[in-house]
Amino acid sequence: MNDTPLNDDLRDLYQDLILDHGKHPRNFRVLDGANREALGHNPLCGDRLVLSLKVDADNVVRDAAFQGSGCAISTASASMMTEMLKGRSVAEVEKLFDYFHALCTGATPSAEGVAADDVERLNALAGVRHYPVRVKCATLAWHTLRNALVPSDEKKASTE
């Protein structure tokens, strides 16, 4: 089979950065002293992650970590997200969420209020918009993050 173009196409989704984070997720651990957490679950494919955060009195995320099992896309997305969170206010996180959500679902994302290097990092997952059934894998961590930050009785994110 001669399918170099095919691999190029798949490379759009599975970039080196994604594969690396998928294989060696950062902040993949229990977070001692966490004060916010949420469980994310994608019942369709069985992806499951627990996100733990340390949020200070000023509503700034001081640390973030996750555990669980999932595909390369959901693991990489969670890993890259936890790397971005430290030092961000809840308001900033909300902007990142909106940008990323629009990016993945094919809407034209507004980069307003999002730093250029954040845009670049989030854009690494933009390939997922061409794989509609995989969008939920990419957004699972971010939905879970939202649930962890927005205090509610239901600490469980679901992409269904």
Partner 1 sequence: MAAMNSVAERRADFPVLTQTVHGKPLVYLDTGASAQKPRAVLEAMQSFYEREYANIHRGVHELSARATERYETVRGDVRRFLNAAHADEIVFTHGATEAINLVAQGWGRTFLKAGDEVLVTQLEHHANIVPWQLLQQQTGITLRVVPITPDGDVLIADVAAALSPRTKLVAVAHVSNALGTVLPVAAIAEMAHEAGALILIDGCQAASHMSVDVQALGADFYVFAGHKLYGPTGIGVLYGRRDILNAMPPYQGGGDMIESVRFSGTTFREPPYRFEAGTPPIVEVIGLGAALAYVNAIGLDNIARHEDLLLRYATEKLSAIEGLRIIGTAPRKAGIVSFVMANIHPHDIGTILDRHGIAIRAGHHCAQPVMEALGLPATARASFGLYNTTADIDALAAAVIRARELFA
**Residue among 38, 61, 72, 103 that touches partner 1 (CB under 8 A):** 72
The number of residues that bind partner 1 (CB under 8 A) is 26
Instruction: Decide: is 17 part of the binding site for partner 1 (CB under 8 A).
Output: no
Site for partner 1 in 74-113 (CB under 8 A): 75
Instruction: Decide: is 1 part of the binding site for partner 1 (CB under 8 A).
Output: yes
Cβ proximity of 105 and 129 under 8 Å: yes
Q: Can you tell me the distance from the alpha carbon of 39 to that of 50, in angstroms, rounded to the nearest whole number? A: 5
**Residue among 30, 44, 115, 150 that touches partner 1 (CB under 8 A):** 44
Q: What is the CA radius of gyration of the chain?
A: 15
Q: In terms of DSSP bridges, do strands 36-42 and 156-158 run parallel, antiparallel, or are they unpaired?
A: parallel
**Residue among 17, 23, 35, 56 that touches partner 1 (CB under 8 A):** 23
Cβ proximity of 45 and 140 under 8 Å: no
Cα end-to-end span (Å), the chain:
37
Instruction: Decide: is 59 part of the binding site for partner 1 (CB under 8 A).
Output: no
Strand partners, 60: 89
In the complex, the residues that contact partner 1 under the rule CB under 8 A are 1, 3, 6-7, 9-11, 13-14, 19, 23, 44-48, 69-73, 75, 131, 133-134, 137
